[in-house]
Structure 1
Amino acid sequence: MSNGSDPIALDQALASFDALWSPRVVTHVNDYDVRVAKVAGEHVWHAHDTTDEFFLVLDGELHLSLREPAGERTVRLPRGSVFTVPRGTEHRPYAPEGAAILMFEPTGTSTVGDRHDDLPAHVDATTGHALGT
């Protein structure tokens, strides 16, 4: 993780681990983590009750299914796209062909939110791992 004086190469950070749905914290901004993750297949339906969740697709394509008052919809995010899931919105990220993503969220935020479906074995319920782990 950056101590603020050294730049972080995101491609090198992503190359340092193989685990899917298991984000690594690359730096902090105030009380927020900047996390990168490799993703493929489906995550779980979940919601963050007190915080929005920001996604930037670094490589591949990420899909976000959303349960909103008007109904369910899916947002497709190709490489270079950003999207913020509003707090309290149930959502399920998935990447049919795999993707690399960057997330920006308050330190301590769980990857499976405050409310979630049963966790499959491939989903890491974490608040982010340090680079190199």
Structure 2
Amino acid sequence: MSQRVVRSRDFTAERAWGALDIANLDGTTVRLHWTDQPYIWHVNDGSEVFVVLDGEVEMRYREGGEEHAVLLGVGDLFHAGPGCEHVAHPRGAARILVVEREGSV
């Protein structure tokens, strides 16, 4: 049996969107990201779940040709289903738990 405690508030990375691999659940990855910079607009090949653990993140997504945005705080989550074009814009430094298919963008 193995166990691990991760103190997300203590995690930082050398670059924006640097990640700490937490687990691989039969091809689904759980990763802790630290960032202070936006990601890029992208579409994943499967579902993706973001959970804000520290900070604030403005999640932008496009639906029906229109851009939308929602501000996520600590404890909030965002589910991007297959085909959902989206980008995360942190407001300052943020720590985000991301659950997605292994090898996804």
The reply to whether TM is greater than 0.5 is: yes
Offset of residue 8 of structure 1: 2.4
Q: Deviations over 1:74-125 (max 9, x none)?
A: 0111001111011111111010212100000111112xxxxxxxxxxxxxxx
- Tell me by how many angstroms 1:6 deviates: 2.7
In 2: Cα distance, 1:64 partner to 1:105 partner: 16
Q: 1:84 aligns with which of 79, 82, 100?
A: 79
Partner of 1:99: 94
1:7 maps to 3
1:12 is displaced (CA, Å) by 6.1
CA contact (8 A) 2:16 2:37 kept: no
- Identity in percent: 26
Secondary structure class of the residue paired with 1:41: coil
8 A Cα contact 1:63 1:94, kept in partner? yes
8 Å Cα contact 2:50-2:79 kept in structure 1: yes
Q: Which of 15, 18, 21 is the matching residue for 1:25?
A: 21
Matches of 1:87 and 1:19 in 2, distance apart? 27
Residue 15 of structure 1: CA displacement? 2.7
- The 10-residue stretch of structure 1 (24-33 or 11-20) with the greater mean CA deviation from structure 2: 11-20
Question: Which of 47, 68, 73 is residue 52 of structure 1 equivalent to?
Answer: 47
Root-mean-square deviation (Å): 2.0
1:41 aligns with 2:29: no
**2:14, 2:46 → 1: CA distance?**
28
TM-score for both structures, normalised by structure 2: 0.87
- How many residues align? The count is 105
Q: Tell me, yes or no, if the aligned pair for 2:47 and 2:101 is still in contact at 8 Å.
A: no
Where 1:42 maps in the other structure, the secondary structure is coil
